[in-house]
Amino acid sequence: MSKVLILGATSDMAVAIAKKFASEGYSLILAARSLTKLEPLQKDMAIRFPDVGVESLAFDALDFASHQPFVDQLVQGGLPEVSVCVFGYLGDQEKAQQDWNEAMQIIGTNYTGAASVMDRLAEAYEKKGSGCLIGISSVAGERGRQSNYFYGSAKAAFSAYLSGLRNRMAKKNVHVVTVKPGFVNTKMIEGMDTPKPLTAQPEEVAKTVYSAYKKEKNIVYTKSVWRPLMYAIKSIPESMFKKLKL
Q: Say which of 125, 151, 210, 213 is annotated catalytic.
A: 151
CA separation for the pair 117, 115 (Å, rounded): 6
With vertex at residue 41, the alpha carbon angle to CA 37 and CA 47, rounded to the nearest 5 degrees, is: 150
CA separation for the pair 190, 178 (Å, rounded): 24
In this structure, the strands spanning 174-180 and 183-184 are unpaired
DSSP secondary structure letters along 46-107: HHH-TTS-EEEEE--TT-GGGHHHHHHHHHHH---SEEEE-------HHHHHH-HHHHHHHH
**Is 151 assigned a catalytic role?**
yes
CA separation for the pair 95, 151 (Å, rounded): 12
196: DSSP letter: G
Residue type, 55: E
**What's the burial of 119, exposed, middle or buried (CB within 10 Å: 0-12/13-18/19+)?**
middle
Coil vs helix vs strand at 118: helix
Would you name the residues annotated as active-site residues? Answer: 151
